[in-house]
Amino acid sequence: MAEPCTRHEPGSMQQRYDAVIVGARCAGASLAACLARGGMKVLMVDKARMPSDQVLSTNTLHATGVSVLDELGLGRRLRELCPAMNSMRYDWFGAIVDLDIRDRPEYCPRRYALDGLLQDVATDSGAELWDRTKVTGLVTHGGKVSGVFLTREDGSAHQVQADLVVGADGRASRVAQWVGSEELLGYAAPRGMYWSYWPAPDGWGSSNNFPAGMYLFRKGDHICVAFHAQDDQVLIGTLPLNQEIEPFRQRPLESLRRRVMNVPMLADIVSQAPSEPVRGYLAQRYFVRRPVGPGWLLVGDAGIHKDFVSGDGISEALLQAKSAAQCLLNGAPRERALELWWRHRDVEALPLFFHGQDIAEPGKRGTLDRLVLSRVAADPALKRRFAGTLIRQSNPYEMLKPSTAAGWVLSAALRGEPQVLGEFLSRGKRISTVRRELAKRQALLDALREPLQGGVGAKQNPAAA
Ligand SMILES: Cc1cc2nc3c(=O)[nH]c(=O)nc-3n(C[C@H](O)[C@H](O)[C@H](O)COP(=O)(O)OP(=O)(O)OC[C@H]3O[C@@H](n4cnc5c(N)ncnc54)[C@H](O)[C@@H]3O)c2cc1C
């Protein structure tokens, strides 16, 4: 048997930790790093061999996620690995918005690299990593989770005690199932995704042919994306609706090519052989789960799984790890710290959860989106606000004054696009519903936060000293 990459072997049947984290990728390893830096005795466990790829992800990293990597001391390594995407083009229902994001670029690292860096920083900070180790159940005592049962690759069974068990075990989280975490919000996923990598053509991101580093296209129900990725590759993908998936399953490359041919600037690239086989994924459900309970916590996809069109899952996981560590390390009673973190998570994460659902939604909203985006494209202040939605500087549901949008819609209707009125009314209803949800979550957080000075919410503070 090859040597596992664990730094410490489990020696006894009954070891004790402050926290055991199930899953050692972007959520688990970053939380392990923050907690270990704060002085906690931490064990990460992953059933996979580490470092290794997480193949089902297209890996764009927003500036919010990059800021957490910077705090963990990994920013320089990220920038050495990946070209910065300094510009972004939305080609959305025929409106083109070019965004200059030089001051907060996006990156697209491979997960074996990113997760490996996070695991290294966690172990360097004092956390232990047991890879090729599967958690098979939870130890409970008096209704509280107090540890995990696990099995190593050699078949040996162990029990580890912990004050806190963290499920960072992804969207199909067994920890969430075992603790019976309820789904608070959720909907059936409408799309899958198929993608691969091609060598970046000369001038990607800086030439007339390829003016942006990152592209998002939508025409009717067809969505395609292209990102400048690690090793000077371009990741090109498409998001077919569920009912369109079968040909992709049968002939992934041919189907991907056929779809991307609708985007003339990418057609030549995908006609070449890709650098690796096409990957595909059919999403099932997006959800928000209750993330805390007696002795347990869920971070990353285990607690919130957002439509991947938002490109925010990794950044979300990193931000959650940072804020969870802030709450756990600030000295408040554990139950209260967990509750506070839950409410904070919801306030921070839900705008992009809802926004991802809206961006990917099938159906006919094209006239309104084209109208709004063409106005955004012509207004530098609005463009800045629009770019800020990706990095949580502005709320997508507060971007426009209703009266401003109504004025645009009325003049478009008078110019011969009456269908925009119906789209505007249904969009207005959706925005009101989302705002009510967000206001409820904010009120729950405000009710808790008052007595805890300087805790979570102080976003400028590093996760751990
Ligand atoms: C098609 C697709 C495209 C995406 N594109 C993007 C994107 O462009 N940008 C972005 O930010 N996000 C994207 N995402 C989302 C992103 O991949 C996830 O949000 C992110 O991987 C969540 O990280 P995590 O650490 O919570 O979980 P994961 O990355 O899923 O890691 C969970 C870990 O838990 C381990 N594990 C599970 N069960 C056990 C067990 N019982 N015992 C031990 N270990 C266990 C697994 O081995 C795994 O290593 C995409 C997702 C998909 C599906």
Those residues whose C-beta lies under 8 Å from the C-beta of residue 208, and which sit 6 or more positions away, are none
Crossing angle, helix 419-449 and helix 334-360, to 10 degrees?
170
Residue 234 near ligand 1, beta carbon < 6 Å: no
Q: For each of the chain's 465 residues, which pLDDT tens digit applies?
A: 333 333 334 444 568 999 999 999 999 999 999 999 999 999 999 999 999 998 899 999 999 999 999 999 999 999 999 999 999 999 999 999 999 999 999 999 999 999 999 999 999 999 999 999 999 999 999 999 999 999 999 999 999 999 999 999 999 999 999 999 999 999 999 999 999 999 999 999 999 999 999 999 999 999 999 999 999 999 999 999 999 999 999 999 999 999 999 898 999 999 999 999 999 999 899 999 999 999 999 999 999 999 999 999 999 999 999 999 999 999 999 999 999 999 999 999 999 999 999 999 998 779 999 999 999 999 999 999 999 998 999 999 999 999 999 999 999 999 999 999 999 999 999 999 999 999 999 999 999 876 544 455 443 333 332
User: Probe ligand 1: pick from 34, 57, 60, max atoms within 8 Å of CB?
Assistant: 57
Ligand 1 atom, smallest distance to 25 CA:
25
User: Probe ligand 1: pick from 5, 25, 298, max atoms within 8 Å of CB?
Assistant: 25
For β-strands 296-298 and 292-293, DSSP reports them as antiparallel
Ligand 1 centroid from CA 69, angstroms = 17
- Our measurement of the distance from residue 5's CA atom to the centroid of its chain's CA atoms, rounded to an integer in Å, reads 27
For β-strands 42-45 and 14-22, DSSP reports them as parallel
User: Probe ligand 1: pick from 46, 256, 309, max atoms within 8 Å of CB?
Assistant: 46
Ligand 1 atom, smallest distance to 301 CA:
26
CA distance readout (Å), 187 to 30, 152, 166, 357: 28, 36, 25, 9
Residue 165 near ligand 1, beta carbon < 6 Å: no
Whether the CB-CB separation of 16 and 40 falls below 8 Å is answered with no
pLDDT score for 456? 53
Residue 45 near ligand 1, beta carbon < 6 Å: yes
Ligand 1 centroid from CA 199, angstroms = 25
Task: Return the structure tokens found at 91.
Answer: 């080609």
Residue 134 near ligand 1, beta carbon < 6 Å: yes
Ligand 1 centroid from CA 225, angstroms = 20
Ligand 1 centroid from CA 26, angstroms = 8
Ligand 1 centroid from CA 375, angstroms = 36
Ligand 1 centroid from CA 421, angstroms = 40
Of the candidates 169, 202, 193, the one whose C-alpha atom is nearest the C-alpha of residue 244 is: 193
3-state helix, strand, coil in the chain (%, to 5): 40, 25, 35
Could you give the domains of the chain? 14-78+110-187+285-356 (3.50.50.60), 190-282 (3.30.9.100), 362-448 (no CATH)
- Residue bearing the CA closest to ligand 1, atom 51: 57
What three-state secondary structure class fits 460?
Answer: coil
Residue 174 near ligand 1, beta carbon < 6 Å: yes
Peptide bond into 83 cis (omega under 30): no
Ligand 1 centroid from CA 171, angstroms = 7
